Structure 1
Amino acid sequence: MVATHPSAAYQSGLQYLSDRAATRSPNQQLLPLTARVNDADHLEVGGCDVPDLVQKFGSPLYVLDEETLRSACRQYRDAFVQHYSGESQVLYASKAWNCLAICAIVASEGLGVDVVSGGELYTALKAGVSPDKLYLHGNNKSRSELQFAIESKCTIVVDNWFELKTLVTITDEAAHPVRIMLRLTPGIECHTHEYIRTGHLDSKFGFDPSQIEEVFCFLSQQSALSCIGLHAHIGSQIFELQPHNDLGAVMMQWLGKAAQHGLPVQELNIGGGLGIRYTESDDPPSIEAWVKVVAESIESACREQSLPLPKLLSEPGRSLIGSACVTAYTLGSQKVIPDVRTYVTIDGGMSDNPRPITYQSVYRTVVANRMLAPLTQQVTIAGKHCESGDILIKEATLPETQPGDVLVVMATGGYNYSMSSNYNRIPRPAAVLVNQGEANLFLQRETYEDLIRQDRLPERLR
């Protein structure tokens, strides 16, 4: 990092730069671990100059730092080895961002993959993920998705009675018993956005606790289904540790009851949900702190109930990928409304980052081609879409900007590309993987031809 006076550092993009110490947890960073300001006064990620990347690959552009992603994978994996006495397996919740390259990276670090659709399952298999490390979730899996999962020999996380009974009708043709887990609703609240709380009783996900005994009895009579474990997930973007501590005791009670019914339960999946830092005020626990609480709660519950340690699974998504990526935009028009606000427009918006308009999510940003410039104006970052609500950041403090500047928004790895759209027929952006000064395109920018590829014009309209 270039040297600078402390006061200048405070009034520039330097205030957001990561502590690059190897012990820092990636989910606690605003920028990727490799972020620095180079001698050109530009933001650099993975040894690559971000404005140069925009010049080469265009914008908007997702820039994914391989070192940060791998570091997060290793911290989860190593923390479980250190703090849990039994067997463990970390799964990447790929709904956060599912594509060939990311699935391949996490698999190379020993992680499995949690998928929630046939498309995500297909992608993970094509990326070389082993079927015994693939788990299919979803509250309304189609019959064809279930059949695909059975043929792929992955584990199916069963969500409800309809799905369970559908499985019974199609498993007779399976050569071997189909591995399943049961998703249960633990009734644990956590302080997060209403739409991403999935562990309370009023949820579309999982079997209700009142149904558990009946489900266990039913499964004990199904020779074609092998119930190897239980699953629960209490939400997303969680900063509290206590709910995950409570979850361990609840889950072990159910695991004990399943064993009493003769079910071959041996795995316990406690979900994910660890939050990341989107703003300076966010203070999520580290990856290791989260794992330590989860591991200790399970071990304590096992001792109290005289149960053997299960194979412990977790499925982080956002806390693996979120802070590893930034999105680079090119600034365009400005609109100054005296005594009201100044709008600065980017060449993307809600189609490549729908989280602000969907969840009222807040982000931080820097001007990547002038990182040390004093912060002199407060602006609203507006997207280019024909939608008044297409506002990326309402109050961003920036240096004086001009058209052509490169604006970088932080922590955009989780749910940005995966929730992107073609609203207004805007092509989806490209994505590059950066590592040690090398940049590789891993998602190609869509073209106008891609936009009409699935269109069909009836003959009578020609």
Structure 2
Amino acid sequence: MMPPPWPDTATIDASGDLRLAGIPLGAVAEECGTPVYVFDAATFARRAASYRDGLAAHYPGEAEVHYACKAFLNVAVAQLVSRHGLHLDAVSTGEAQVGLHAGVPGRRIHLHGNAKTDDELRLARRLGVGTIIADNLPGLRGIAAVAREGGELRVMLRLAPDVAANTHPHIATGAAASKFGIPLERLLDAARIIASEPKLRYEGLHCHIGSQITDLLPYRAAVRVLLAAAGTLRRRYGWTTRRDVHVPELRNGDVLAVPAAGAYTLSMASAYNHVPRPPVVLVQDGHSHLITRRETHRDLMARDNCLPDPPIAGPSGPDPAIATTQNPHRHTGVHACCSIET
């Protein structure tokens, strides 16, 4: 095995080739082209077990481990999440629907994120999403309004815990002035909104203090803040880029393996400059499986439509009989206009 951040099954074989789960990555590159993301099922399983077993060993109450969909999600990953006993944290109803399609029960999905529209909240209820996390007071009022229309909605409150984390300022989200979360001084305002709506069910408190945190102290501080806030509610209501990475000298045709792509890399990938997004390959027990195919130029233009044919003008203006004759394929997409190399 190779040291972190390499996946757990990473090895160098006798011929000097890099392997994951016994699969030579050079062969994956030849079969799928580059760039290609390789997802190690064994590493995922072990990390899931470490969280699950750690909570079971040190926390006597009920506990759930949630996988953050925004890190990377497709149907196969959602199936792995379910297979290993995890729940899902979704930030859109689109992510929630991927989880449901993969067989994750709605009650095991939490929906996060601010600026949710009423239609999104109604869809979440129809999908059976377990809990909605309110990111701010206007969002909580919107959840209450949708709950008033129909069945009960379970809600958690995301707080800004005013905890400093030793990480890059751009990914530190626990400060009191953070745009994410309800300020602690507005906690009782949020509680009053919930208490005034019988169809809102209070489920608990939530916070997020940042990413790439390697010190436990900020987490302990955040937990103390949440416990204090929970005590208040119980009394009153009864409820940057690294710059020091060594890159070997490369020659044309070399395959460069990066040990860890990091969260969000592929999930935030765009088609900027019309460059298709890469595929994802799952490796497990000596086998590789394509779980997301490479995007094609045809995919990128599938939503485009051609311009309508211009009307043909006669001597005294457009002939109505001719002007209404248009390209019968105008609504079928750009493929009616030209051939496309995939």
Q: With structure 1 as the length reference, what TM-score do the two structures score?
A: 0.65
What count of residue pairs does the alignment treat as equivalent? 310
Q: Which runs of 5+ in 1 are unaligned?
A: 2-16, 19-28, 265-358, 365-394
- Give percent identity, aligned residues only: 35
Cα distance in 2 for residues equivalent to 1:170 and 1:363: 50
The verdict on how the C-alpha distance between 1:261 and 1:223 changes in structure 2, with shifts beyond 3 A counting, is farther
Shift of 1:136: 0.5
**Equivalent in 276, 280, 285 of residue 431 of structure 1:** 280
Task: Find the counterpart in structure 2 of residue 282 from structure 1.
Answer: none
Kept in 2, the 8 Å contact 1:104–1:127? The answer is: yes
Cα distance in 1 for residues equivalent to 2:170 and 2:216: 20
**Equivalent in 204, 220, 228 of residue 195 of structure 2:** 220
Kept in 1, the 8 Å contact 2:81–2:87? The answer is: yes
Task: Find the counterpart in structure 2 of residue 125 from structure 1.
Answer: 100
Kept in 1, the 8 Å contact 2:153–2:199? The answer is: yes
List structure 1 runs of 4+ shifted beyond 4 angstroms: none
Cα distance in 2 for residues equivalent to 1:121 and 1:138: 12
Paired residues for 1:202-281 under 5 Å: 202-262=177-237, 264=239
Write the letter of the residue equivalent to 2:277: R
Shift of 1:191: 1.6
Shift of 1:460: 5.0
**Equivalent in 410, 420, 444 of residue 269 of structure 2:** 420
Shift of 1:190: 0.8
**Equivalent in 134, 142, 148 of residue 172 of structure 1:** 148
Larger Rg: 2
> Which structure has more RCO (C-alpha within 8 Å, separation ≥ 6)?
1
Query: Which deviations, in whole Å up to 9, do the C-alpha atoms of 1:187-226 show, x marking residues without a partner?
Result: 0011211121111011111111111112212211210100
Shift of 1:363: 8.0
Task: Find the counterpart in structure 2 of residue 375 from structure 1.
Answer: none
Cα distance in 1 for residues equivalent to 2:308 and 2:220: 62
Q: Are 1:200 and 2:175 counterparts?
A: yes
Q: Which runs of 5+ in 2 are unaligned?
A: 311-336, 338-342
Q: Are 1:160 and 2:9 counterparts?
A: no
Shift of 1:251: 0.6
**Equivalent in 296, 319, 340 of residue 447 of structure 1:** 296
Cα distance in 2 for residues equivalent to 1:206 and 1:401: 45
The verdict on how the C-alpha distance between 1:48 and 1:196 changes in structure 2, with shifts beyond 3 A counting, is same
Shift of 1:242: 0.8
Q: Are 1:69 and 2:64 counterparts?
A: no
Cα distance in 2 for residues equivalent to 1:56 and 1:218: 56
SS, match of residue 237 in structure 2: coil
SS, match of residue 184 in structure 1: strand
Paired residues for 1:341-356 under 5 Å: none
Shift of 1:413: 4.4
Task: Find the counterpart in structure 2 of residue 100 from structure 1.
Answer: 75
Paired residues for 1:371-450 under 5 Å: 395-396=246-247, 398=248, 401-450=250-299
Structure with a larger share of its residues in strand = 1
**Equivalent in 37, 60, 64 of residue 12 of structure 2:** 37
Shift of 1:260: 2.7
Query: Which deviations, in whole Å up to 9, do the C-alpha atoms of 1:60-82 show, x marking residues without a partner?
Result: 11011100011000000000001
The verdict on how the C-alpha distance between 1:129 and 1:362 changes in structure 2, with shifts beyond 3 A counting, is farther
Kept in 2, the 8 Å contact 1:227–1:263? The answer is: no
Query: Which deviations, in whole Å up to 9, do the C-alpha atoms of 1:274-319 show, x marking residues without a partner?
Result: xxxxxxxxxxxxxxxxxxxxxxxxxxxxxxxxxxxxxxxxxxxxxx
Cα distance in 1 for residues equivalent to 2:60 and 2:45: 24
Cα distance in 2 for residues equivalent to 1:438 and 1:234: 38
Cα distance in 2 for residues equivalent to 1:206 and 1:152: 25
